[in-house]
């Protein structure tokens, strides 16, 4: 029976993925795309989406925006606590061959706050407005990939953040259905 890969082997593979992904930014077009997506993922995109929902959706848009804001606050508290607890150094801090193509917003790597928020916001927004899936799913995926390409996160930071963001969104949707959050 084959043995599962050792943790050292998984870490070495993940490090290799970071090196290869980070090299993509040597291409100007790739750098511009991922840097722009990352900047929008800082919050600008989500704030604009909430404002647009309020402006065009009336009371339903306001409810959706309040749901997004509540979920975003929970995501912020959770990811900051996890970063302080795990204190995982960023890839560029562990290997000088990996370049941070943009400045990080904080010191630690695990989990990716950008990805956690992108997934949580996308799931909640699509639950309210399914028509937005065509825009939000590719944007959230681009945010997630940008974190590794820009040298700021390991793939496992992004995968964990995807799971956490999805679970947080599911919990917020469950609470909204139960009457505990704006729906």
Number of domains in the chain: 1
**What residues have CB less than 8 Å from 14, skipping those under 6 apart?**
154, 155, 156
Is 182 a domain residue?
no
Structural domain includes residue 27: yes
CATH code for the domain in which residue 74 is found: 1.10.606.20
Q: Give the contacts of 135 (CB within 8 A, at least 6 positions apart).
A: none
Q: By residue range, what is the domain housing residue 130?
A: 7-177
| pLDDT at site 7 | 65
DSSP structural state of residue 131: G
Give domain status of residue 17, yes or no: yes
In a domain, 153, yes or no: yes
Task: Report if residue 26 sits inside a domain.
Answer: yes
- What confidence score (pLDDT) does residue 74 get? 95
- Residue 1 falls inside a structural domain: no
Within a domain: residue 2?
no
- pLDDT tens for each residue of 10-35: 677 788 888 888 888 888 999 999 99
Grade residue 136 by pLDDT with cuts at 50, 70 and 90.
very high
pLDDT confidence of residue 3: 66
Single pTM value for the model: 0.90
CA–CA distance, 119 with 143 (Å, rounded to integer)? 9
In a domain, 144, yes or no: yes
């Amino acid at each position: 029976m084959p043995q599962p890969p050792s943790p050292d082997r998984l870490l070495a593979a993940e490090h290799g993925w970071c090196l290869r992904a980070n090299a993509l930014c040597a291409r100007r077009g790739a750098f511009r795309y991922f840097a722009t997506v990352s900047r929008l993922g800082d919050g600008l995109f989500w704030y604009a989406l909430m404002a647009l929902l309020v402006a065009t959706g009336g009371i339903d848009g306001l409810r959706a925006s309040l749901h997004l804001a509540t979920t975003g606050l929970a995501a912020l508290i959770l990811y900051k606590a996890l970063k302080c607890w795990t204190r995982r150094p960023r890839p560029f801090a562990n290997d000088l061959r990996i370049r941070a193509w943009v400045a990080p917003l904080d010191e630690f790597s695990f989990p990716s706050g950008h990805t956690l928020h992108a997934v949580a916001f996308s799931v909640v927004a699509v639950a309210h407005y399914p028509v937005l899936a065509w825009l939000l799913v590719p944007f959230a995926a681009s945010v997630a990939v940008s974190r590794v390409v820009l040298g700021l996160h390991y793939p496992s930071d992004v995968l964990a953040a995807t799971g956490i963001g999805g679970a947080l969104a599911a919990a917020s949707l469950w609470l909204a259905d139960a009457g505990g959050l704006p729906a």
